[in-house]
């Protein structure tokens, strides 16, 4: 009985075990997904914006880009499941020289799978002019309180994803009467700051067009900045429109590219009908002209 058991069960088991030990081992190696990165520029001036795109068959990646003191996530572009997009602004006080954009890729389990560095050369900034302005009743305006309110709204917004943002449509078409970055000195030095947007002179009442889909995060009649609108486009990008004659949107309203948010005016501290148009990327003010013109080409 006992020898029968040895023959029937133990011996075949021993043979199988020894065969398994001799068989070549099959190792299944899971390779990290391929990630292709593209940037809109490799040389840029302070105040300019960089678009970073990543393509990967894995649509559950977390891609974190870091440069110039910003940490931003490349977000999936809706309806393009293999494409991620993000933006980085070069602050105006960045010194010229070689820079690096670092992208860390994490799997959906949170495991770091790759680090990719991209070299970007920051070029010397063209010197900006100083402009002296005189505005009647300038002392009565409380710029600081209004600016702090807008900064707080920008800080809370700007992290969502959506359809592809660029190219932006110009909100109005007209003569640029003041470029980005100019140092402005008001009323014999009562106040001075750099111009954080561009001024476009057009007739009062001209409709202001939404440059890309987004959500209105502020629509208020301010005293110094005039009737103001802020739109959160996601991807860390927020646009600002000041001195409107008429507000045609409300806070919390979703707006579509090509829609109308208001009319050009000269409300608040302003010397004539114009649109002050500003773009913040991860809180950094960037040149709207560069944003609209250098990102015209779809990546
Ligand atoms: Zn302005």
Q: Please tell me whether residue 138 adopts helix, strand or coil conformation.
A: helix
CB 89 within 8 A of CB 68: yes
258 Cα to the center of ligand 1, angstroms? 22
Residue 22 pLDDT > 50: no
Residue 191 C-alpha to ligand 1 middle, in angstroms?
15
Contact partners, residue 91, CB within 8 Å, separation at least 6 = 46, 47, 68, 69, 284
Distance 44 CA to ligand 1 centre (A): 23
Q: Classify 169 in phi/psi space as left (phi over 0), alpha (psi -120 to 50) or beta.
A: beta
How many angstroms is it from 19 CA to the middle of ligand 1?
81
pLDDT, the chain, mean: 87
Residues near 14 by beta carbon (within 8 Å), at least 6 away in sequence: none
Kindly indicate the confidence band of residue 4, based on its pLDDT and cuts at 50, 70 and 90. low
Q: Distance from the CA of 196 to the center of ligand 1, in angstroms?
A: 7
247 CA to centre of ligand 1 in angstroms: 18
Residue 27 predicted with pLDDT over 70: no
Where b means 16+ CB within 10 Å and e means fewer, 157-173 reads bbeebbebbbbbebbbe
Q: Which tens digits make up the pLDDT trace of 83-136?
A: 999 999 999 999 999 999 999 999 989 999 999 999 999 999 887 888 777 777
Residue 244 C-alpha to ligand 1 middle, in angstroms? Answer: 12
- Give the residue-averaged pLDDT of 47-70: 94
Ligand 1 centre and the CA of 100: distance in Å? 32
Question: What is the DSSP code (8-state) at residue 62?
Answer: E
CA of 51 to the centre of ligand 1 (A): 25
Among the listed residues 212, 208, 211, 221, the one whose alpha carbon sits nearest the alpha carbon of residue 260: 208
Q: What pLDDT, on a 0 to 100 scale, did the predictor assign at position 12? A: 54
What global pTM score does this model have? 0.85
Query: Closest Cα to residue 147, out of 189, 191, 187?
Result: 191
Q: How far is the CA of 107 from the centre of ligand 1 (A)?
A: 43
Q: How confident is the model at residue 7 (pLDDT cuts 50, 70, 90)?
A: low
Q: Which domains does the chain have, with CATH numbers?
A: 36-122 (2.60.40.10), 130-294 (2.70.70.10)
Whole-number Å distance, alpha carbon 197 to ligand 1 midpoint, is 6
- pLDDT by residue (tens digit) across 169-225? 999 999 999 999 888 776 666 677 789 999 999 999 999 999 999 999 999 999 999
Q: 17 pLDDT exceeds 90?
A: no
Centre of ligand 1 to C-alpha 205, Å, is 17
Which residues contact residue 16 at a Cβ distance below 8 angstroms, ignoring those fewer than 6 apart?
Answer: none
Q: Output the CA 167–ligand 1 centroid distance in Å.
A: 22
For ligand 1, the distance from its centroid to the CA atom of residue 257, given in whole angstroms, is 23
Tell how far CA 239 is from the center of its chain.
10
Among 1-5, 122-126, 250-254, the range with the most confident prediction by mean pLDDT is 250-254
Res. 24: pLDDT tops 60: no
CA of 10 to the centre of ligand 1 (A): 89
Ligand 1 center–CA 82 separation, angstroms:
39
Question: Cα of 116 to ligand 1 centre, how many Å?
Answer: 38
In this predicted structure, what is the pLDDT of residue 79? Answer: 79
pLDDT at residue 227 is higher than 90: yes
Distance 294 CA to ligand 1 centre (A): 21
- Expressed in angstroms and rounded, the spacing between residue 277 Cα and the centre of ligand 1 is 7
Mean pLDDT, to the nearest integer, of 69-86? 90
């Amino acid at each position: 009985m006992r020898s029968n058991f040895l023959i029937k069960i133990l011996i075949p088991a021993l043979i199988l075990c020894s065969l398994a030990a001799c068989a070549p081992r099959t190792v299944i190696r899971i390779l990290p997904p391929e990630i292709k990165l593209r940037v809109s520029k490799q040389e840029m001036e302070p105040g300019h914006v960089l678009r970073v795109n990543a393509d990967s068959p894995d649509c559950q990646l977390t891609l974190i880009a870091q440069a110039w003191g910003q940490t931003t996530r490349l977000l999936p572009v809706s309806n393009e499941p293999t494409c991620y997009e993000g933006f980085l602004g070069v602050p105006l006080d960045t010194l010229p020289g070689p820079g690096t954009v670092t992208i860390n890729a994490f799997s959906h389990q949170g495991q770091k799978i790759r680090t990719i560095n991209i070299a970007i050369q920051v070029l010397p900034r063209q010197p900006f002019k100083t402009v002296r302005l005189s505005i009647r009743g300038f002392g009565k305006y409380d710029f600081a309180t209004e600016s702090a309110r807008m900064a707080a709204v920008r800080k809370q917004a700007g992290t969502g994803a959506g359809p592809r943002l660029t190219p932006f449509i110009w909100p109005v078409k007209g003569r640029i009467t003041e470029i980005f970055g100019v140092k402005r000195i008001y009323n014999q030095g009562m106040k001075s700051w750099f111009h954080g947007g561009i001024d476009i002179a057009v007739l009062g009442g001209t409709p202001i067009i939404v440059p890309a889909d987004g959500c209105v995060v502020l629509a208020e009649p301010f005293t110094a900045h005039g009737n103001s609108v802020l739109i959160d486009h996601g991807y860390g990008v927020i646009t600002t429109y000041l001195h409107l004659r008429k507000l045609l949107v409300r806070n919390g309203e979703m707006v579509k590219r090509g829609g109308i948010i208001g009319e050009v005016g000269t409300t608040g501290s302003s010397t004539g009908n114009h649109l002050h148009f500003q773009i913040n990327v991860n809180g950094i003010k960037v040149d709207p002209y560069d944003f609209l013109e250098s990102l015209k080409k779809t990546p």
